[in-house]
Amino acid sequence: LKAIINVPPAHYRSKASVTYPIGDHESPIGFVRLSEPIDFGTNLLDQLKQALITAGIGAVILAIIFGLWNSNRIASPIKSLAATSAQMEGGKLSVRANLKTGGEIGALGDQFNQMADNLQATIKQLEDERDSLRRFIADASHELRTPITALKNFNTLLQGPAASDPDAQNEFLLESQIQIERLAWITANLLDLSRMDAGLLELDLAEHDLCEIIESSATPFETLADEKGISMNIQLPENPVKITADRPRLEMAIGNLLDNAIKFSTENGEIRVILENDQECITLKVCDIGQGISPDDLPNIFERFYRGRVHNVEGSGLGLSIVKSVVEAHGGTVDVESIPGEGTTFRLVWECPNLDSYEKRNHVTRDAGN
């Protein structure tokens, strides 16, 4: 059979079978077809199966490798986030996640860092408040201890050595009275200040002419200024300046500024109180040509109980914190400029958005609010 099919025409031959014509090649009477045994197909199927299994295993291995790589890509930034948050939980608030990845995970990292920034700022603020509260309590107890100790001493003296001396008794009673008034003043103002700062103090607001408030604030200080030979020069606009205010409190704030201006002025000095009212704001300046404030003291003078270091003038250190709280409660701001040896200017400003319009402000009659 091999000999018969030795030279078969190419088109009669395939890989699996050979077909040979019987008789004339041009018009054969039949064909003989010789095929590979059935094993051939089976082999082919086996080969195919093998190839499929190999491809399947390859695909599975690839899928596993890709899955591992992908899960590692997602898990490692999350692990890093978890490690950062564990460090933060341990008190290290300055650490930040460094994910070095984009997309949603990167955005998550950015958000985490933003949250950490806010948290750190809030905790810093709370710590500052806690420190200032501690300072405040220490200062307040020190301030209250002084008059209480004085009262205790007067009491002992009145019961002992001064019991039979009417002049000494009178003197100690008078001193006791001064200390009691000081105690009452400090406690009342401290309470007011705390309420004002917490927004719990209800201001008794009404419409007033600020010019009148300034004039009535200055009246009690005229004698004091005269005694020191200090001239008080008050410059007010021609028209009334309408403002909605708690009059006694605003008078107290302006009074505190005038009191300081007199206290810290040298003899024969000058104090100027200038009120300006324009389209943008109302500005009240209290200027003196006194000893001024040292740059070291300047940032602290509005703190409760803070007193400048270089003078020995009486005071509680509460005056300016009252000014600040009152002015801010009235929607204004207060700032200070001072040159040691030359003088000091306190500036109270009420910006227009916190006020009625300029026209309305000017159309109040002089006796408004009285």
Residue 291 engages ligand ADP in binding (rule: CB under 6 A): yes
Buried b (16+ CB within 10 A) or exposed e, 99-119: bebeeebeebbeebbeebeee
Question: Using CB under 6 A, which of the segments 136-144, 195-203, 318-326, 358-366 binds ligand ADP?
Answer: 318-326
User: Of the candidates 179, 316, 334, 364, which one interacts with ligand ADP according to CB under 6 A?
Assistant: 316
Distance CA 290, CA 262 (A): 8
Residue 317 engages ligand ADP in binding (rule: CB under 6 A): yes
Q: To which residue do tokens 């390859």 refer? A: 58
Smaller CB separation from ligand ADP, 201 or 322: 322
Residue 213 engages ligand ADP in binding (rule: CB under 6 A): no
User: Of the candidates 162, 264, 326, 348, which one interacts with ligand ADP according to CB under 6 A?
Assistant: 264
Alpha helices per DSSP H over 90-198: 103-159, 166-197
User: Of the candidates 344, 350, 361, 364, which one interacts with ligand ADP according to CB under 6 A?
Assistant: 344
Q: To which residue do tokens 């302006």 refer? A: 254
User: Of the candidates 109, 147, 319, 369, which one interacts with ligand ADP according to CB under 6 A?
Assistant: 319
Residue 221 engages ligand ADP in binding (rule: CB under 6 A): no
User: Of the candidates 297, 333, 354, 368, which one interacts with ligand ADP according to CB under 6 A?
Assistant: 297
Question: Using CB under 6 A, which of the segments 1-9, 137-145, 165-173, 254-262 binds ligand ADP?
Answer: 254-262
Residue 301 engages ligand ADP in binding (rule: CB under 6 A): yes
Minimum CB distance to ligand ADP, residue 348 (Å): 13
User: How many residues sit in the footprint of ligand ADP (CB under 6 A)?
Assistant: 22
Cβ atoms of 352 and 281 closer than 8 Å: yes
User: Of the candidates 208, 242, 249, 307, which one interacts with ligand ADP according to CB under 6 A?
Assistant: 307
Half-sphere exposure of residue 351, counting CA atoms within 13 Å on the CB side? 5
Minimum CB distance to ligand ADP, residue 109 (Å): 48
Nearest-Å Rg of the Cα atoms of the chain is 47
Cβ atoms of 329 and 354 closer than 8 Å: no
Q: How many CB atoms lie within 10 A of CB 32?
A: 13
Three-state secondary-structure class, residue 34: strand
Smaller CB separation from ligand ADP, 260 or 277: 260
Cβ atoms of 250 and 291 closer than 8 Å: no
Smaller CB separation from ligand ADP, 171 or 259: 259
Q: What is the DSSP letter of 13?
A: B
Residue 293 engages ligand ADP in binding (rule: CB under 6 A): yes
Give the H/E segment covering residue 224. helix 222-227
Q: Which residue minimizes CB distance to ligand ADP? A: 308
Smaller CB separation from ligand ADP, 273 or 364: 273
Cβ atoms of 145 and 116 closer than 8 Å: no
Give the H/E segment covering residue 78. helix 39-89
Three-state secondary-structure class, residue 163: helix
Question: Using CB under 6 A, which of the segments 56-64, 81-89, 212-220, 292-300 binds ligand ADP?
Answer: 292-300
- Cβ neighbors of 40 (< 8 A, separation 6 or more) are 16
Residue 217 engages ligand ADP in binding (rule: CB under 6 A): no
Residue 209 engages ligand ADP in binding (rule: CB under 6 A): no
Residue 327 engages ligand ADP in binding (rule: CB under 6 A): no
Q: What is the DSSP letter of 15?
A: S
Three-state secondary-structure class, residue 366: coil
User: Of the candidates 8, 237, 315, 331, which one interacts with ligand ADP according to CB under 6 A?
Assistant: 315
User: Of the candidates 290, 326, 334, 364, which one interacts with ligand ADP according to CB under 6 A?
Assistant: 290
Find how far residue 279's CA is from the centre of its chain: 31
User: Of the candidates 143, 209, 251, 288, which one interacts with ligand ADP according to CB under 6 A?
Assistant: 288
* Chain positions contacting ligand ADP, by CB under 6 A: 256, 260-261, 264, 288, 290-293, 297, 301, 306-308, 315-321, 344
